[in-house]
Structure 1
Amino acid sequence: MAAGLNHDGSILFLSCDLQNSTQFKQRNDDKDWVATFLAFYTEFPALLSTEIESACPALQGRLLLWKAVGDELIFSIRIQSERECSNAVDVWLAAMLAFETEYLLGKTPMTLKGGAFLATVPSPDRRVAIPRTVGSTDRSQRDAEAVNEQTLNEATDADAFAAEFAMDFVGPSIDTGFRVLKYASRRYFVLTVEAAHILFKHYSNEEMDHRHAYLVGTHELKGVWGGKPYPVFAVARDLGEQVPAQKLAEAFKDTARIADEHPYCKPHDVLATIAAYRDDKDWRGAVFVSGAAWAGFQTHEAASAARKRLDGLIDTSEDRLDTSEDPGDEDSTAGMPTK
C-alpha cells in the first residue's frame, strides 16, 4: 500500500515559458537580460503565491516547482477534485498575466506562453526517486521497482527526502505533455486531452458558459498514440485586449481560416468527443482523482492493478523488527506453565 510521499492519483503539471527569449538575450547586455530572467525565476513564483492566497488558499504550499527547463518553469500538484484543477489553472493564468504586465510588456520583446498536462501514477506513469549523489550502492539483485517503491514509502519528511533524492515523474503522459506544449502561444493555453477532460467537465458541471473549449488542431505527435492525429485543446487567455485577427474572424464568422485564431465551442459540447478519444483501446492517458464529483474520474483500474503489483514486490521478511510495535514479549518465559 502506498505510504509516505508515495501518493497515487493524477498530478497536474502547469508550464510557463518565456517567448522570444533568445532574441532578447542576443540583443542586450548581460546586466539587462540576466535581471529579467532572475525576476522570472523568483518573482513569478511569488506572484503565483499571491494569486493563490487571494483566490484559493487551499492550494497554498501544494503547487510546487517540478522543473526549470531553461526559459520554462513547470509546477505540479496532485489534484483532488475537478474544482482544484480549475482553480490551479486560474491562478496560474493570473500569475502569467501579472508577470507579463509588471516585467515584460513595453520593456522587452518577450511574452509568456504555457499549457497544462496530466499524469497518473502508478499507471500509466510513475513517480521515481533519483539519488542526488553518487556513492556506494547495494549491488544485490533487488528489483529496481521494489527499491523505488520502498524509498518513496519510507519517506515521510519532504525536506529530508529532497536532500537525498530528486522526486521525478516519467511515463507516456509526460512525453505527451511536452509534445503538446510546443503548440502553445501567448493567447492559447494548451491542454492535453486528460487535462481538457477534467477542466471542461468542471466548466460544464458548474455551467460556466463564459468558458470556451478551443481546438488548436489535430497533430501527429512523435511517438504518441501510434502516430494518429492527436487533438490539442486550449483555453484562451484573457489578455484584456482584442487582436486584429479576432476582429477578422468575427467579421467573416470563421475562426478556422484565420492563422492565429482557432474554432471553439461550449465545454459541454466537446465532452463526448474527448471521451471517444480516451476510450480508444490504444489510448495511454488516464485520469484518477478519488475526490472527483464525477464517478468516471474516481477510479482507474490500471492504477489499482499496478499498485497491487508494486506492493507485492516489497519483501519485508528480512527487515529489522520494530520493537516499539512488537516488543517480543512472546519470547519471555514469564507466566508460562511449568508443568
Structure 2
Amino acid sequence: MIRLFLSVDMAGSTEFKARLTGQGNRGWLETFRVFFTNFPLMFAGQVGFEFLDDDSTPAIDVWKAMGDEVIFTAQPSSPAELSSILRALLRTMTLYEKKYFERLPLRLKGTAWLVEFGEQNIELDIAELAGDGGNHIDFIGPDIDLGFRLSKFARPSSLTLSLDLVEALLIAPNRDQLSLHLLGNEELKGVMFGRPYPVIWACDADTGFDFLPWEVESCPLVAAAASAEPTAAAPLQKAIADMRLYLRKMHGVDREPLKLGA
C-alpha cells in the first residue's frame, strides 16, 4: 500500500506568536484555531472541485495537527490523481492566505511525499490513544521521517516534493498542470546515507510562484526559483536515476519506483 502525505504549516508563526505574547495578547490563538478548523474544510472543498467531473473523489484525511502544522494523508489511485490532489492543495493554500492572512505576517508552505508500507514503513493501531471504541492509526518508518526532513526546505507559495513523488508525477498524463523546479541538492540528516538530496519545488503551472519581495531578497532558494524556468523532465529523471545508482552501488540498496494503483 502506498500513501501520500501532505504537510502544510505556517511560515512566520514563531515570530508572530512571540510578538503578540510579549504584548500580553493571546489573539494568535484564534488565528491557529481557525487554521486547524477551516483549512481542512477548504482543502476538502477544493479536492471536490478538482474531481467534479470524475466518478469518485479521493478521501483526504487529517493524520495529525501539531504546533503550527497540519498533516494529511491520502491513497491516490494513479499518477493523474496524485497530480490533481497536489494542484488542489496549492490552490487551497493560495485561497486561504487571501481570505485569512491578508493583514497578517503569515504564509503557508507545504511538503508532499509518498510512502510505501510493508517491511520498512508500518502502520500502528494505538488503542490507548483512541476514544469511544475507535482506533488511532499512526505511521512509523524512515520514509515517514523523510518528509519531515524535507519540510526544512519548504517555502511559501510552493510544495517541496520527494523524489518518489516526482517520479510518479513525471508519468502523469496531466503533469503539465504543475511546474517542477529542481533547485539544487542539500544534505538531510539521516537521509540517503548523507548524500545531498535534490530540492524540488512544485507550483501551479497556471499561476506560478507568488513570492513576496522580501522573501526573494532573503532566501537564495526562493531567489533561484523566482528567476528560473520549470525544470524539464530529463534533468529530473537523471536526479532520480543518480540517487538510485548511488544507493545500489555504494550501499547495496535497491529502491524500485513506487507504482500507484498497483
TM bucket normalised to smaller: 0.7 to 0.9
SS of equivalent to 2:16: helix
The whole-number CA distance in structure 2 between the counterparts of 1:131 and 1:164 is: 8
1:13 partner letter: F
1:33 partner letter: W
1:161-180 → structure 2 map (5 Å cutoff)? 163-180=133-150
| Equivalent residue in structure 2 for 1:200, among 170, 182, 186 | 170
Q: Is residue 2:99 matched to residue 1:99?
A: no
What corresponds to 1:33 in structure 2? 28
1:222 partner letter: K
Structure 2 gaps, min length 5: none
| Equivalent residue in structure 1 for 2:198, among 217, 220, 231 | 231
The whole-number CA distance in structure 2 between the counterparts of 1:242 and 1:23 is: 19
CA-CA distance at 1:130 after TM superposition = 1.5
- TM-score w.r.t. length of structure 2: 0.81
The whole-number CA distance in structure 2 between the counterparts of 1:56 and 1:240 is: 23
What corresponds to 2:116 in structure 1? 120
The whole-number CA distance in structure 2 between the counterparts of 1:177 and 1:162 is: 31
2:5 partner letter: F
The whole-number CA distance in structure 2 between the counterparts of 1:41 and 1:188 is: 20
Identity within the alignment, %: 29
Using a 3 Å threshold, how does the CA distance of structure 1 residues 69 and 272 change in structure 2: closer, same or farther? same
CA-CA distance at 1:34 after TM superposition = 1.4
What corresponds to 1:260 in structure 2? 223
1:134-283 → structure 2 map (5 Å cutoff)? 163-202=133-172, 205-206=173-174, 208=176, 211-236=178-203, 238=207, 241=210, 260-262=223-225, 263=228, 264-279=230-245, 280-281=247-248, 282=251
CA-CA distance at 1:244 after TM superposition = 5.1
CA-CA distance at 1:234 after TM superposition = 1.2
1:255-334 → structure 2 map (5 Å cutoff)? 260-262=223-225, 263=228, 264-279=230-245, 280-281=247-248, 282=251, 287-291=257-261, 298=262
| Equivalent residue in structure 2 for 1:70, among 67, 72, 80 | 67
The whole-number CA distance in structure 2 between the counterparts of 1:63 and 1:19 is: 23
Using a 3 Å threshold, how does the CA distance of structure 1 residues 225 and 207 change in structure 2: closer, same or farther? closer
CA-CA distance at 1:161 after TM superposition = 9.2
Using a 3 Å threshold, how does the CA distance of structure 1 residues 241 and 165 change in structure 2: closer, same or farther? closer
Structure 1 gaps, min length 5: 1-8, 134-159, 249-256, 292-297, 299-339
Q: Give the paired residue count.
A: 245
CA-CA distance at 1:212 after TM superposition = 3.0
Structure 1 stretch displaced more, 161-170 or 110-119: 161-170
Using a 3 Å threshold, how does the CA distance of structure 1 residues 259 and 86 change in structure 2: closer, same or farther? closer
SS of equivalent to 1:118: strand
Q: Is residue 2:15 matched to residue 1:23?
A: yes
Assess if the C-alpha contact under 8 Å between 2:216 and 2:223 holds in 1: no
CA-CA distance at 1:41 after TM superposition = 0.6
The whole-number CA distance in structure 2 between the counterparts of 1:177 and 1:223 is: 12
Larger-gyration structure (1/2):
1
Q: Is residue 2:45 matched to residue 1:50?
A: yes
SS of equivalent to 2:74: strand
Using a 3 Å threshold, how does the CA distance of structure 1 residues 284 and 170 change in structure 2: closer, same or farther? farther
| Equivalent residue in structure 2 for 1:80, among 77, 80, 100 | 77
SS of equivalent to 2:30: helix
Using a 3 Å threshold, how does the CA distance of structure 1 residues 125 and 161 change in structure 2: closer, same or farther? farther
Using a 3 Å threshold, how does the CA distance of structure 1 residues 290 and 21 change in structure 2: closer, same or farther? closer
